[in-house]
């Protein structure tokens, strides 16, 4: 029987944790795949395979899980350079550019990725695409004030933006912002698009992670393989 998607995520996450060494500063991503990485890291710490490391979480949910599992936490203020971050993604293109943010944590995730020497993305094979924006919307975090004007401006970039809702109410990020999920018919020029988006007042950050990822660990039913940039 073929392994489930959750099992593929677990395999990819645990393979990524093999890159972590004792004494490192580690970024802990958010979402279902990154959760497996956090659990795998905690198990290695309990067994004594790793020691003397500290972690920086990219969301409040990840911070809570790490505390429950006994992973020592720190901050970017105390450790401004991170050795390795393990995170998930919603799409990965052949250049290892990715879309992130369906979990709602893209702002902190990008701040952590920018401070990281080696950003490792863990995915199942369904997340690989030839062009970004073909399967996943592009999440854009926006200030609540005037969000409809921001939405109209995003429409002018070619998007169909939808306010993310939870139980009929706007989804609120850890930083107190809204997310507009922007649907494009594929993104031909991600660099140009992110530059356009960041010129819009009210935009905090977008989910395009360009040139930030060094390694992608991909799990398929047949194998776990590693892609390097």
Active site residues: 109
| Alpha carbon distance 197, 192 (integer Å) | 9
Closest C-alpha among 82, 160, 96 to residue 128: 96
Reduced to 3 states (helix: H, G, I; strand: E, B; else coil), residue 78 is coil
Q: Give how far Cα 164 sits from Cα of 31, 74, 111, 138, 168, Å.
A: 16, 30, 22, 12, 9
DSSP character for 2? P
| Alpha carbon distance 40, 18 (integer Å) | 9
In DSSP terms, 169 is beta-bridged to 166
Secondary structure string (H, E, C) spanning 147-160:
HHHHHHHHHCCCCE
């Amino acid at each position: 029987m073929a392994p489930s998607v959750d099992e593929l995520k677990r395999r990819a996450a645990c393979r990524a944790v093999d890159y972590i060494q004792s004494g490192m500063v580690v970024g802990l991503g958010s979402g279902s795949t990154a959760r497996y990485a956090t659990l795998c890291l905690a198990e290695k710490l309990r067994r004594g395979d790793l020691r003397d490391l500290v972690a920086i979480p990219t969301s409040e949910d990840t911070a809570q899980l790490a505390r429950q599992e006994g992973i020592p936490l720190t901050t970017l203020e105390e450790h401004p350079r991170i050795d390795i971050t393990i995170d998930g993604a919603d799409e990965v293109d052949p250049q290892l550019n990715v879309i992130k943010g369906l979990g709602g944590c893209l702002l902190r995730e990008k701040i952590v990725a920018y401070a990281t020497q080696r950003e490792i993305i863990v995915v199942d094979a369904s997340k690989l695409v030839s062009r970004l924006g073909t399967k996943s919307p592009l999440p854009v975090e926006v200030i609540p004030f005037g969000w409809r004007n921001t939405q109209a401006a995003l429409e002018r970039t070619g998007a169909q933006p939808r306010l993310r809702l939870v139980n009929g109410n706007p989804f609120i990020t850890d930083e107190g912002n809204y997310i507009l999920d922007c649907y494009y018919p594929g993104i031909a020029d991600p660099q140009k698009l992110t530059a356009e988006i960041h010129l819009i007042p009210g935009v905090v950050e977008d989910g395009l992670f360009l040139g930030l990822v060094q390694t992608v660990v991909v799990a398929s039913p047949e194998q776990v393989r590693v892609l390097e940039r």
